[in-house]
Chain A
Amino acid sequence: MSGDLNAAVAAGVLGSEERFRELLRSVVEVARAIFRARASSVLLLDEPANELVFEAVVGEGEETLLGQRFPAGTGVAGWVLATRTPLVIEDVGRDPRFAKDVAEDTGYVPEGLMAVPLLSDERALGVLEVLDRQAKFTLQEMELLGLFAAQAAIAVDLLQRAREAEAALGGDGRLAVVARVAAALEGREDQAGARLLAALEEVLR
């Protein structure tokens, strides 16, 4: 890795987390506006923990839900994630388990819920939800939500790649030493560092 490339990756990673959060938030804000809903959220799958995490929330529950986690194998969102299938429920509060779990977390139980999986190739990254729409449901709305989900899935994919890059380059990450060496060589004013890297590259070729 050249010093320039290292610097570019480091700069990209440092700035990315916040920007991607903004992008996710913008997706749920637009979804909420289009469907004239009380709330909208993006939940992402934390694979090692097998939990769904609220990564972006607008509207009802915004203060309490962000960052909250629950087991990925429960409830409506879990079903949507596992089966990669969109689902619309008009009176979700009558699902006894759903109502109890959500009410305990937020004090707010939605009436209606549209949930759609965030898919990247074969992987299900999370779920986009729209709660309590004012407009009557149509099949066109489902397609619209699917388009939003596709956009959100791209944002999530980029976010996760950035996080992986950050983990690999920072602290005890497997590429951290390469990043540190490259950064140190990049800071030198003479050309010795660049020549060393070029020689190393030739050896490895």
Chain B
Amino acid sequence: MSEHDLPAWSLPSEAAPKIALQSNWPAAITHDWAYGDSTGAGARVCILDSGVEAGHPKVGEVQSAVVVTTGEDGEPRIDPDTEGDVCGHGTACAGIVRALAPEAEIHSVRVLGPGYTGSGKNLLAGLRHAIEQGFDVVNMSLSTTKKDHATVLHELADTAYFKRTVLVASAHNMPVESYPWRFSSVISVGSHMEEDPMVLYYNPNPPVEFFARGVNVEVAWMGGETITCTGNSFATPHVAGICALIRSKHPELTPFELKSLLHLTSRNVADRR
């Protein structure tokens, strides 16, 4: 059925049968149904961060890499990125996604230039680029406190939501206003203290919606190194990795359905079924 068959903003009474959908969700959702046997193959994951060190033992191949910098006209520009990672943080996130979804594609959009400058505007441009690329999952282990950017970020998050790009964003673990993790169209992530990388908890008291492994996580770092880190930055790619597994197995799912699936497979929810 083409979307042009129906009015965009209403549902005439005779049209209801036209949007009848078949749901193959089982009565009881299990982890096995959600992502059992999935390797992430076919899912495209974007790491919006400090770049990714391609060839790192924990990361492997990086399918594409671009960098957002500030052009001579003061506006952001996007170029192929040959520098890799300027900090280590993006490589850490990519390594976590790779560990969970070994066959997913990893794409890097670097929003921090030399000297970490221009982060606000370049973050918006990088996110817009990622949405245009139609990635399945965008990992955002960062946020901005600039209120000027909040409106545009909100629009971008909603655009992604309706274009089936899942934004997974780190919650701030300090009492400050920052974005985009507070928006309901993204999946926001905080940390739990357990060691199992596949365990999620659903938070019935948002804005933080899910908790994932984020304490003492062994992560990839610059120069082929491995270090141990703590923070919501590292909980977020655990959720991004699980989203890649689900997308790989159930490519038809919308962000709303995918979030429902994360809820139904959360330990504090699934264990009561």
Contacts and interface: CB of A to CB of B under 8 A. Distances in A.
Contact of B230 (A50, A75, A90): A90
A79 B116 contact: yes
Given A73-B116, A94-B226, A87 B174 contact: no
B89 interface: yes
Interface string B129-170: 000000000000111111100000000000000000000001
Contacts of B114: 73
B222 to A, nearest CB: 7
B228 interface: yes
A74 B117 CA distance: 11
A148 B165 CA distance: 37
B141 to A, nearest CB: 8
B229 A79 contact: no
Nearest to A97: B222
Nearest to A142: B173
A122 interface: yes
A122 B216 contact: no
Nearest to B191: A139
B182 to A, nearest CB: 14
Given A83-B142, A87-B233, A72 B115 contact: yes
B184 interface: no
Q: Of residues B112, B119, B226, B230, which shows the largest number of chain A Cβ atoms within 10 Å of its Cβ?
A: B230
B145 A119 contact: yes
Contacts of B178: 84
Contacts of A50: 115, 117
Given A139-B193, A139-B215, A82 B229 contact: no
A88 B216 CA distance: 9
A96 interface: yes
Interface residues of A, number: 38
Interface residues of B, number: 40
A150 interface: yes
A31 to B, nearest CB: 15
A88 B141 CA distance: 14
Interface in B79-126: 87-89, 112, 114-117, 119
Contact of A89 (B193, B222, B227): B227
Nearest to A116: B174
A119 B175 CA distance: 10
A154 B223 CA distance: 37
A71 interface: yes
Given A79-B50, A84-B143, A95-B88, A137 B230 contact: yes
Interface in A85-105: 85-92, 94-97
Contacts of B215: 137-139
A82 B115 CA distance: 9
Interface of B: 50, 87-89, 112, 114-117, 119, 141-147, 170, 172-176, 178, 191, 193, 215-216, 221-223, 225-233
Closest 9 CB pairs of A and B: A73-B115, A88-B230, A82-B116, A90-B228, A73-B116, A146-B174, A83-B142, A96-B223, A94-B227
11 contacts: A82-B116, A83-B119, A83-B142, A91-B227, A96-B223, A96-B225, A97-B223, A119-B174, A121-B145, A137-B215, A142-B231
Given A73-B116, A85-B143, 12 more contacts: A79-B50, A79-B116, A81-B116, A83-B119, A83-B142, A86-B173, A86-B174, A95-B225, A97-B223, A137-B215, A146-B174, A149-B174
